[in-house]
Structure 1
Amino acid sequence: MKKLSFLAFILMLAFAATAVAGDPVTYAAKARQLIERGEYEQALDELKRASSLFPYEQSLKVNLALTYTEIAKRDMNAGRYAKAARSLSEARELLPGNRELTLMRGVALYLDKDYLTAASEFKEAGEGVDPLIYLGKIGYDTGDLQGALSYWRRAREMEPDNKMLATLIAKAERELPVESRMDKGFSSMFDLSFDAELPPGLSREVLDALESAYNSVGADLGLFPTARIPVLLYTKRDYGSVTAGPDWSGGLYDGKIRLPIGGITRITPQLRAVIFHEFTHVLIAEITHGNVPTWLNEGLAEIEGRKEFVHPGRNPNLVDASHQLPLVTLSGSFTSMDGQQAGLAYQQSYSMAQFMVNRYGWYAVQNVLKNLGERVTMEKAVAKALSDWSLDLPGLLREWQQALPASAGKAQ
């Protein structure tokens, strides 16, 4: 009896294995369950195994391509653009000619700043509003405003009511008359455009300062970008008309470094400070993909700028003892503030960021930024980066407050 039971058990296992191995639908169903649980890599392994057993089963190829696509979406949401592009290449090999996959891969490559390959993908995706918008963005980011406008105007013909296109076109049309008369300069990592009215030789000194910032700030933040960085030098009059920024603005980074230059013939410590400040924004934007509170962004930029120049009479280590801005205010844009409030916002942001660097080191700050780049909240980014200190964001702020002079107020 025992022998018969054992044989029956072996036969049952063999039958089950045959049923699974002989049924691609079963593999697909299991893979879907894994995907629903977020276990994408396991789903991928399951479908690859099935595809090797049933190489001509089209449904498995479709499911495998969809799994690669889901993995790519996850990586794009987390800012892992190059990895997402590789997954989309795998998906497209399984579903050649799929326009959506081509477009998605183009977007991933664009966000990774691989502009040449991204442009090829968008052109392959065919005539349509989305490919044209991104081709225009590539032109804009690389300094070809005329080409950008050409793509965007074609897209507007297809969608006349597209508000985003209207905004992009208006911005480029505002900048084109100024930039079309600019001269050009280059260094190893920077593409410089500058007003022909500016003193000769100043552009070279600005490029030298940018290269110094590249090395110095890059060492602090642990990043040395490989994509070229556009920089524009304006007269103060043109800077105001192009950027429409607040009167107190001494520079701007919006994907391009924009600096107002006026009344100087040689680079000054003040201008070097602004260059270092704005270049810091370049690195923070690349690390965090824009997911960063303004106080941390501006605070770190102030640290780097103040290494080059500190305004006389300003105590770099003291927040105003009786006036502090709430954290919620410091987390949003400063551009709507008046000059006095903006000054306090920058000083408080500097104080908080400098405390983080002094107390926990640049490595911890780098980890906060990297965590933000994974699209987590500031609270989670700090808690993960400062886990060795058992600190979260409220704990960090309490330690900062305790380090201030006793008469200082409290951020809320």
Structure 2
Amino acid sequence: MPKLSGPIKGRARPISYGRLIRFSGEDGRASTLIVIAVTVFALLAFWQYSGKTPKSPNYEGAVYSGKGQIEAGPLASIPLEAAQSDPNARAAFEAYKAGEFTRAVALYRAAYKDSPSEGAGASLAKALNGAATVEYASGNYALAKEMLTEALSLSKDPVFFRNLANAQIKLQDFEGAVSSLEEIKDLPDVRGRLKNVYVRIAEERLNKGERDGAIEGLEKGFEIDPDDRSLKERLSKLKAENAFESGMGSRDGSRFLVKYEGGENAVAGHLIGILLEEAYLKIGSDLAFYPEDRIEALLYTKETFRDVTRSPSWAGAVYDGRIKIPAGGLTDKTSELEKVVFHEYTHALVHRISKGRAPTWLNEGIAQYEEGKSSSALSLEIKEALASGGLRLKGLEGSFMGYNSNAAHTAYLLSLSATEYIIREFGASAVKRILEDLGSGMSVDDSLKAVLYMGYDELDRDWQRDAGR
């Protein structure tokens, strides 16, 4: 959380799927030709699989912040050979050409049952892949995965492995995606994607507290791309953190594990543990959410905190999958310490509810609201920040870690103001529903529309109009 002090002098800088159409024909030769032409065009389009490798997510420290997402591209279809002599196979081929993949699968399955040859199996596999592209484009990722798994039992075509990995990524099955991509890792456009999935696996393991497993995932990613300096730095930092934490004391509880640097900070560890229990009850009630997993909090001296988190000078604490606080030497429970703990604990809940997909403005807005902060006394500063126009909440989706203190102050203030507006106009439960929708995979704009019945543009307009009064 930031240390908000001083006037605003800087402004936060703004920062900006394929769908397979299923065609059906009409009576008449001309219509049929058009349908076939369009279908072939669609199949070729999918054949031109982008293969674009997502850039490695940005990290503000050695622990996953929950913001790095791997995008799964559209599935690729592949051409089928001319129909065989079997009547079912001939009918299946015509159905496939017309984009009627479900019917083609049924007919090819019958042909394969009558004559289980390698060629018939390969045709059935391609039809299953075609049907999977339709289901995938419709959001039926589990069914697409099932069809592609069956296709691979019949034919080991690299396209099937690639498509299966996409479906597995959509289903958050990153371990499965690694297995699929490992089968075709020698293809040049696969290695970068495989690296990113290994990194995502490391992030998931970190969220579960499996730090050794996270290091293993990062090492596998680094083996694929030893020139990735960011990944190298992150791996080195995580190893150093592990080594440092092995010498820390701890206060072990059922809901929280509090680690502290130096035996003299055992009192501080006890205080943080008490405050976390209070936050569990208060914020859990506000958000109607009580995490089942154990949350970790680490207490450092101020010097170690900067070295470990590499956070900017304005950051008074950090949540990066674990709560990190420069609280060494504390012996008293103060209101300021309570605010810090409540703020960072809120981040832990937001991360869990949204599956790490909450935009930073909403994440920080909720955290400030739960620590007891209000923007009402800073209305003039808010008006100043909005006066020039052009500011959009979408520009505050990314991390604030790279901002200077003035820009960060503005970003946090506007985040709080927008979040307060949502709670005031739509109720605190609306915030929870937005987070849940984000956790289900919805975009920010879609989740706003689903809960508030307005998208980004309308929210920006109404919130800024209200804040400017």
TM-score bracket for this pair, using the shorter chain length: 0.5 to 0.7
Residue in 2 that maps onto 1:268: 334
| Alignment of 1:194 onto 2:260 | yes
User: Counterpart of 2:380 in structure 1: which amino acid?
Assistant: D
Name the SS of the counterpart of 1:232 in structure 2: strand
| Alignment of 1:382 onto 2:429 | no
Distance 1:62 1:305, change over 3 A: farther
**Larger RCO (alpha carbons 8 Å, 6+ apart):** 2
Distance 1:395 1:230, change over 3 A: same
| Alignment of 1:28 onto 2:96 | yes
What displacement does 1:209 show?
3.7
What displacement does 1:103 show?
6.0
Deviates more, 1:228-237 or 1:215-224: 215-224
Map 1:128-143 → 2, pairs under 5 A: 130=195, 133=199, 136-137=202-203, 140-143=206-209
Task: Say if 2:353 and 2:435, in contact at 8 Å, map to a contact too.
Answer: yes
Residue in 2 that maps onto 1:334: 400
What displacement does 1:379 show?
4.5
**Structure 1 CA distance for aligned equivalents of residues 125 and 433 of structure 2:** 39
What displacement does 1:324 show?
1.9
User: Counterpart of 1:282 in structure 2: which amino acid?
Assistant: A
**Structure 2 CA distance for aligned equivalents of residues 149 and 207 of structure 1:** 28
Distance 1:201 1:165, change over 3 A: same
Task: Say if 1:231 and 1:258, in contact at 8 Å, map to a contact too.
Answer: yes
**Structure 1 CA distance for aligned equivalents of residues 246 and 214 of structure 2:** 13
What displacement does 1:208 show?
4.7
User: Counterpart of 1:396 in structure 2: which amino acid?
Assistant: L
**Structure 1 CA distance for aligned equivalents of residues 302 and 137 of structure 2:** 43
Residue in 2 that maps onto 1:297: 363
Where structure 2 has 5 or more consecutive residues not aligned to the other structure, the ranges are 1-85, 114-119, 186-193
Task: Say if 1:330 and 1:345, in contact at 8 Å, map to a contact too.
Answer: yes
What displacement does 1:240 show?
0.5
Residue in 2 that maps onto 1:161: 227
> What percent identity do the matched residue pairs reach?
27
Task: Say if 1:20 and 1:26, in contact at 8 Å, map to a contact too.
Answer: no
Task: Say if 2:392 and 2:460, in contact at 8 Å, map to a contact too.
Answer: no
Name the SS of the counterpart of 2:380 in structure 1: coil
| Alignment of 1:396 onto 2:469 | no
Task: Say if 1:318 and 1:351, in contact at 8 Å, map to a contact too.
Answer: no
Residue in 2 that maps onto 1:11: none
Task: Say if 1:186 and 1:207, in contact at 8 Å, map to a contact too.
Answer: no
RMSD: 4.3
Name the SS of the counterpart of 1:343 in structure 2: helix
Task: Say if 1:89 and 1:105, in contact at 8 Å, map to a contact too.
Answer: no
Provide, for residues 295-330 of structure 1, a one-character-per-residue CA deviation record: whole Å limited to 9, x for no partner.
222111111111xxx5xxx76554235522533664
Deviates more, 1:63-72 or 1:348-357: 63-72
Distance 1:226 1:126, change over 3 A: farther
**Structure 2 CA distance for aligned equivalents of residues 262 and 208 of structure 1:** 16
Deviates more, 1:150-159 or 1:360-369: 150-159
**Higher helix proportion:** 1
Task: Say if 1:106 and 1:122, in contact at 8 Å, map to a contact too.
Answer: no
Name the SS of the counterpart of 1:282 in structure 2: helix
Residue in 2 that maps onto 1:324: 385
Map 1:36-115 → 2, pairs under 5 A: 46=103, 49-50=106-107, 53-54=110-111, 56=113, 57-58=120-121, 59-64=123-128, 67-68=131-132, 71=135, 84=141, 88=145, 91-96=148-153, 111=172
TM-score, normalised on structure 2?
0.60
Name the SS of the counterpart of 1:319 in structure 2: helix
Name the SS of the counterpart of 2:299 in structure 1: strand
Distance 1:383 1:261, change over 3 A: same
Residue in 1 that maps onto 2:34: none
Task: Say if 2:105 and 2:131, in contact at 8 Å, map to a contact too.
Answer: no
Residue in 1 that maps onto 2:241: 175
| Alignment of 1:240 onto 2:306 | yes
Distance 1:122 1:333, change over 3 A: closer
**Structure 1 CA distance for aligned equivalents of residues 201 and 445 of structure 2:** 36
Name the SS of the counterpart of 2:265 in structure 1: coil
Deviates more, 1:342-351 or 1:205-214: 205-214
Distance 1:263 1:248, change over 3 A: farther
User: Counterpart of 2:448 in structure 1: which amino acid?
Assistant: V
Task: Say if 2:148 and 2:164, in contact at 8 Å, map to a contact too.
Answer: no
User: Counterpart of 2:348 in structure 1: which amino acid?
Assistant: V
Name the SS of the counterpart of 1:231 in structure 2: strand
**Structure 2 CA distance for aligned equivalents of residues 376 and 242 of structure 1:** 33
Q: How many residues align?
A: 356
What displacement does 1:185 show?
4.4
Task: Say if 1:133 and 1:155, in contact at 8 Å, map to a contact too.
Answer: yes
Match of 1:363 among 424, 429, 433: 429
Name the SS of the counterpart of 1:324 in structure 2: helix
**Structure 2 CA distance for aligned equivalents of residues 315 and 69 of structure 1:** 49
**Structure 2 CA distance for aligned equivalents of residues 133 and 405 of structure 1:** 43
| Alignment of 1:203 onto 2:269 | yes
Task: Say if 1:236 and 1:260, in contact at 8 Å, map to a contact too.
Answer: yes
**Structure 2 CA distance for aligned equivalents of residues 134 and 400 of structure 1:** 35
**Structure 1 CA distance for aligned equivalents of residues 152 and 143 of structure 2:** 14
What displacement does 1:237 show?
1.6
Provide, for residues 150-190 of structure 1, a one-character-per-residue CA deviation record: whole Å limited to 9, x for no partner.
55445544542234532432332442342232234444454
